[in-house]
Structure 1
């Protein structure tokens, strides 16, 4: 094995050639520095993803890609990519998140210096958890209620070789949250150890081109239907109270219903009157008052106006970020 045997990165992809290209442009020097192998499962893409991958394989020998013969659903592709690496730990990543070099260093140091083997390691999402110190979870309900919500972001999760080899594949298929479902079910065993490392964080990768939408058009379905169903169907080792706490924290903290996202959703006509009526109880009980205000305020604004301001705001944010990063004013 010519790469780091401790940790590798697993990336599922489908028709995201330009995003994947920018992802490697952003991270390739860190990957080389730490000698981390990258395993890609291509679903298979119909764009030029193969050419992009081949280009970066020419830059770094430890990029490995498997192109599936036939297209599978998103959940199955995520499960497939987990099985590809042969390292001790596997970092499940999306190409839409940035892994700062400092974060990679902290993760490696944590795993190298661990007094025991962990079933999983979980890091911060855009530094949103600020008041929870580093710890190793052995209590199911503490784990679920305190950091369970952040696990819905795949890139915050590093899993063990044992979980990859012996995990409950298929248990969360169709949920659209196959990775967190896979992790929750595996950690429901009596003796588990899940490490929380809050000082390490991932951040949204500021891709300069048009953003590929992925599943965002089903945002309300994901938040108010699929996520609660997944959590409420977890094993009974997790209490109902911890499940309810997780569901509420997820809606408040994950950021899917931030006002900028809502502006974009309305601009692209991804929120319908039917959805508002269907999920009005979830909106009322699970979202903060500020989110409810924006949901119903933007509802009254014509879609072209929402679209205009959404594009301008996002373009401005990403341009300013790139300028600050070139000036050394961005630490992540």
Structure 2
């Protein structure tokens, strides 16, 4: 069977050789029955990422890799990954996420044939949205209010090939949310048809290493860059819809969860000075206990936070392994 022309997977990466190795080991058994291409944009990695990719290309012929001679901003690498795919639909996904077999099969079954098409398909993240049934959106402000926070996840959006050349990529570069800006820029220009499907869900990839995340940029990204990004959206989006989207990302994404805050403190990126800088916006968008918890963490030694975090991670992974042994189809 030849290369699948209906659907492809696009993957941007940088210096994540161990993760890419695990990613391809996980994905190849899922996609090989449909000969789905995996298009990797390598952001001039300095580790052995290319060697890992070459190893898996000898196992699965539909892995393609392109990239840059020098490292570029992540938004440019994401854009390049998306443009590598020639398929009718492209699922853009980060290397920290997994597409379960049932989600892939469901998507392939709902993608229309012939002249009918979806401009975008939005997938769920670990089933977090439970109160919106599968539906077709045609109103840009409604998409912004309901789904913008979900679209921030680099793995929840499937693009039709016709929209990929249309986005104003440069407008949202270096915002850290370029892939989100591209979607909403397109929606403001088209009489679009977007499918939201809670039945298509991605899950976290249980990699050998914990994903490092935004590190020192974590708090500035969510408290400064996200509001700034929202302000860049076209004027066709209503002020009230922008405000709803701005708050929903902080409230629903679970980025302000206790483990993330513990991680940030353990890395030295949360202290009394930083806490005071963001205290006002935390009070606006988060429950009172989170504000108290963040303040409490500023008094905890970083080493103690790191120790607690490692123990929590060990317990979580062991718990997952035990549950997985009894239920091989478990996905979380």
The TM-score range, normalised by the shorter chain, is over 0.9
Structure-1 residue corresponding to 2:305: 306
| Distance in 2 of aligned mates of 1:304 and 1:114 | 58
| Distance in 2 of aligned mates of 1:105 and 1:290 | 41
Structure-2 residue corresponding to 1:108: 108
| Distance in 1 of aligned mates of 2:31 and 2:137 | 29
Are 1:33 and 2:45 matched, yes or no? Answer: no
Are 1:267 and 2:266 matched, yes or no? Answer: yes
> What's the offset of the Cα at 1:267?
1.3
Structure-2 residue corresponding to 1:228: 227
> What's the offset of the Cα at 1:279?
1.5
RMSD: 1.7
> What's the offset of the Cα at 1:144?
0.7
> What's the offset of the Cα at 1:257?
1.5
* Kept after mapping to 1: 8 A contact 2:215/2:267: no
Structure-2 residue corresponding to 1:80: 80
Instruction: Tell me: CA distance 1:164–1:115, structure 2 relative to 1, closer, same or farther (3 Å).
Output: closer
Unmatched 5+ stretches in structure 1: none
| Distance in 2 of aligned mates of 1:48 and 1:54 | 10
| Distance in 2 of aligned mates of 1:186 and 1:135 | 19
Structure-2 residue corresponding to 1:128: 128
Instruction: Tell me: CA distance 1:284–1:35, structure 2 relative to 1, closer, same or farther (3 Å).
Output: same
> What's the offset of the Cα at 1:108?
1.2
2:165 is paired with a residue whose SS is helix
* Count of residues paired in the alignment: 331
1:86 is paired with a residue whose SS is coil
1:319 is paired with a residue whose SS is helix
* 1:285-326 CA distance string (max 9 Å, x none): 112233223212222222111110101101221222133223
* 1:92-146 CA distance string (max 9 Å, x none): 1111011111111111111146983111110111111001011111011111111
1:166 is paired with a residue whose SS is coil
> What's the offset of the Cα at 1:273?
2.6
* 1:191-240 CA distance string (max 9 Å, x none): 1111100111111111123x242423211111111111111221121111
| Distance in 2 of aligned mates of 1:163 and 1:190 | 9
1:154 is paired with a residue whose SS is coil
| Distance in 1 of aligned mates of 2:265 and 2:197 | 36
Are 1:255 and 2:228 matched, yes or no? Answer: no
| Distance in 1 of aligned mates of 2:285 and 2:227 | 11
Q: Where do 1:1-332 residues align within 5 Å?
A: 2-112=2-112, 116-209=116-209, 211-328=210-327, 330-332=329-331
Structure 1 stretch displaced more, 45-54 or 269-278 = 269-278
Instruction: Tell me: CA distance 1:114–1:137, structure 2 relative to 1, closer, same or farther (3 Å).
Output: farther
Give TM-score, length-normalised by structure 1: 0.95
> What's the offset of the Cα at 1:77?
0.8
